[in-house]
Amino acid sequence: MQRSFTLFSVVVHSLVISAALIAQVLAVGPLPTPHLPLIFDASHIMLVDIQLPAPPRRAVKATASPATSPDAAPTVSPIGMSPETGLEGASARLPGLVTGVESGPPAAVDGLRIGSVALLPAPQPTVPVRLHSGMKAPQRIVDVAPAYPPIARNARVQGVVILEAVIDATGRVESVRVLRSIPLLDQAAVDAVRQWRFTPALLNTEAVPVVMTVTVNLTLQDR
């Protein structure tokens, strides 16, 4: 029964759809009017001028006027005229002199008195500098031999202890530190070097403190 009803329903729907299609094909009459496209009417367009904002003002930086050269031409007329001596600017051309302060007998050029300051030499270093080839090395003038430690003698220990010594501008040993150690001999070597005296080290004929390396050779001498 259900299968018959389904078959009947399919047949009826097919007939209805076929009839609708045939009616559309056989139908006569005027075609539908298409929609008009959207047309812009130029008469309704208004042009309006837009005022642009004024550009921001930039702050003008005040520029410092350049220093006027002493040789520049004057821009203001002088009040009076003085006779020329021919020595204008002579002090600026004198080598090795600084005008304005007197530190000795003033120089006179054709009756013109010029105060001068002699240029001072470069200051010498106040901290110890490493000894180099441009200096006059200090010479040892007082030599104290190290006292051989009994414990090192009994142990038959010998060798070379390398030290770094700081020598002041007068030639005295300020400090000593060990660079290459022999534990049983270090203290004897340090005590001996602290008693050494040297001639001053010279840099540009001036005495300066220096740092130098010294060696102490401790050997056993069989008696």
pLDDT, tens digit (0-9, with 9 covering 90-100), for 22-36: 777 776 666 667 665
Instruction: For the beta carbon of residue 167, count every other beta carbon within 10 angstroms.
Output: 26
Query: What is the rounded average pLDDT for all residues in the chain?
Result: 76
Burial class (CB in 10 A: 0-12, 13-18, 19+), 161: buried
Mean pLDDT of 131-160: 92
Looking at per-residue pLDDT, the higher value among 84 and 172 belongs to: 172
- Residue 28's pLDDT is 63
Is residue 210 classed as helix, strand or coil in its secondary structure?
strand
- C-beta separation of 103 from 118 below 8 A: yes
Residue 120's identity, in one-letter code, is L
Looking at per-residue pLDDT, the higher value among 103 and 11 belongs to: 11
- Is domain 129-218 in CATH 3.30.2420.10, yes or no? yes
Start-to-end C-alpha separation, the chain = 144
